[in-house]
């Protein structure tokens, strides 16, 4: 297969890898504060993630220049459309991870990601509202991705001194999370089950309440009733999906497996923050366990992705 063919088939979903690895970076940064793990791990990961994002962004921009029809096809696709905000979310997450290491670069990346997130959110919602080819069976938890991006803005936004902007984006994310959650459960209960390649996207259900809890704590600074509801919903959804482990274990590897990564990382950070606020021992132990499990999971995903790439199973035309 030629390099041009691979470039033409480079999927926008590849940026979910950056989200997952950025989430892992935030896990280890928080673990350094709460669990006393070596801070060098989190510091090293942020530069690895930044390099990966830069490479993917350059590659996708080349695809846009040389194969614009392939990019338009992804924009017209009812599932792939929702993955375009993974670019803006990656910028926000990398900016968040850099806020203590390089504050000025963090601010610029966060601001760029936030502006792009607003543009993509408006663009995608307009497509949902006015395009006639979307159907209920197209709905899956990947549609949460635009909402999740908005919820993430306050984590670094408050630290950079922009609480009003942070509340604006948090409000958008929470409202559309509730709307989309209702539609997703209607789809999975009353229509055909999700196809196997989309089944891992169920883990995205965890991301809005888990990331929402982290962002809400950044906004209000103390644990209240709404914060408790958010973290406990996220914890319940995590337990619910873990009970379905046999279904996920039976699946053949696909890039959609990266949907496991960021939600579990967000849940891990949320538990460690919850421990800081409450001092409950079980949240510390569970947070430590999930940090180890999420690290092992993402390491496994990196190995599977590398193996699939070496076998020519990635960046190929869909059958």
**Given this model, what pLDDT does residue 131 score?**
78
pLDDT digits 0-9 by tens, 189-247: 888 888 888 899 999 999 999 999 999 999 999 999 999 999 999 999 999 999 999 99
- pLDDT(5) > 90: no
CATH code of the domain covering residue 225? 1.50.10.150
Q: Is residue 115 part of a domain?
A: yes
- Cβ contacts of residue 234 below 8 Å, gap of 6+? 206, 209, 210, 212, 213, 266, 267, 270
Domain span including residue 217: 3-310
Beta-carbon contacts of 153 under 8 Å, excluding residues fewer than 6 positions away, are 92, 110, 114, 117, 165, 166, 169, 170, 173, 215
Residue 130 has pLDDT above 90, yes or no: no
CA distances from 32 to 2, 25, 35, 89 (A): 44, 11, 6, 23
Mean per-residue pLDDT, 26-30: 96
Average pLDDT, the chain: 92
What pTM value is reported for the model? Answer: 0.94
Annotate 114-137 with DSSP letters as a single string: HHHHHHHHHHHHHHHHH-TT--GG
Q: pLDDT band at 170, cuts 50/70/90?
A: very high
- Rg (C-alpha) for the chain, rounded Å, is 19
**What is the number of structural domains in the chain?**
1
| Residue 237 forms part of a structural domain | yes
Q: Per the domain annotation, does 318 fall within a domain?
A: no
Mean pLDDT along residues 81-105: 95
Q: Is residue 46 part of a domain?
A: yes
319 belongs to a structural domain: no
Q: Is the pLDDT confidence value at 2 over 70?
A: no
Does residue 90 form part of some domain? yes
The CA distance from 119 to 111, in Å, is: 13
What is the mean predicted confidence (pLDDT) over 28-47? 94
Is residue 161 classed as helix, strand or coil in its secondary structure?
Answer: coil
User: Using the 8-state DSSP alphabet, how is residue 319 labeled?
Assistant: -
Contact 117, 148 (CB under 8 A): no
Q: In this structure, are residues 114 and 90 in contact, taking their beta carbons and an 8 Å threshold?
A: no
Is residue 99 over pLDDT 90?
yes
Whether residue 74 is contained in a domain is answered as yes
Neighbouring CB atoms inside 10 A of 74's CB total: 18
Residues 233-290: tens digit of each pLDDT: 999 999 999 999 999 999 999 888 999 999 999 999 999 999 999 999 999 999 999 9
Helix axes 225-242, 207-220, angle to 10 degrees: 160
The verdict on residue 211 lying in a domain is yes
pLDDT at 319 (0 to 100): 54
């Amino acid at each position: 297969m030629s390099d041009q063919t691979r470039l033409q088939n480079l999927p926008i979903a590849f940026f979910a890898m950056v989200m997952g690895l950025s989430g892992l970076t935030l896990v280890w940064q928080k673990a350094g504060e709460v669990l006393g793990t070596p801070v060098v791990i989190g510091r090293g990961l942020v530069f690895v993630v930044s390099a990966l994002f830069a490479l993917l962004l350059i590659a996708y921009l080349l695809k846009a220049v040389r194969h614009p029809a392939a990019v338009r096809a992804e924009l017209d696709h009812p599932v792939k459309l929702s993955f375009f905000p993974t670019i803006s979310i990656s910028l926000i997450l990398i900016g968040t991870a850099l806020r203590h290491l390089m504050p000025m670069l963090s601010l610029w990346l966060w601001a760029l990601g936030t502006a792009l997130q607003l543009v993509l959110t408006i663009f995608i919602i307009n497509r949902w509202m006015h395009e006639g080819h979307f159907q209920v069976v197209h709905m899956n938890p990947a549609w949460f991705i635009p909402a999740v991006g908005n919820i993430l803005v306050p984590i670094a936004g408050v630290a950079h001194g922009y609480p009003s902007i942070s509340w604006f984006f948090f409000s958008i994310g929470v409202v559309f999370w509730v709307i989309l959650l209702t539609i997703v459960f209607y789809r999975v209960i009353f229509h055909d089950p999700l196809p196997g390649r989309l089944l891992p996207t169920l883990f995205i259900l965890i991301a809005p309440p888990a990331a929402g809890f982290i962002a809400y704590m950044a906004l209000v600074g103390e644990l209240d009733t709404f914060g408790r509801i958010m973290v406990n919903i996220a914890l319940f959804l995590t337990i619910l999906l873990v009970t379905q482990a046999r279904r996920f274990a039976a699946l053949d590897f696909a890039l959609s497996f990266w949907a496991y990564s960021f939600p579990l990382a967000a849940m891990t950070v949320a538990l460690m923050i919850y421990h800081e606020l409450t001092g409950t021992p079980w949240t510390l132990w569970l947070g430590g366990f999930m940090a180890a499990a999420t690290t092992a999971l993402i390491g496994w995903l990196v190995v599977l992705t590398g193996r699939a790439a070496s076998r020519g199973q990635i960046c190929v035309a869909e059958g």
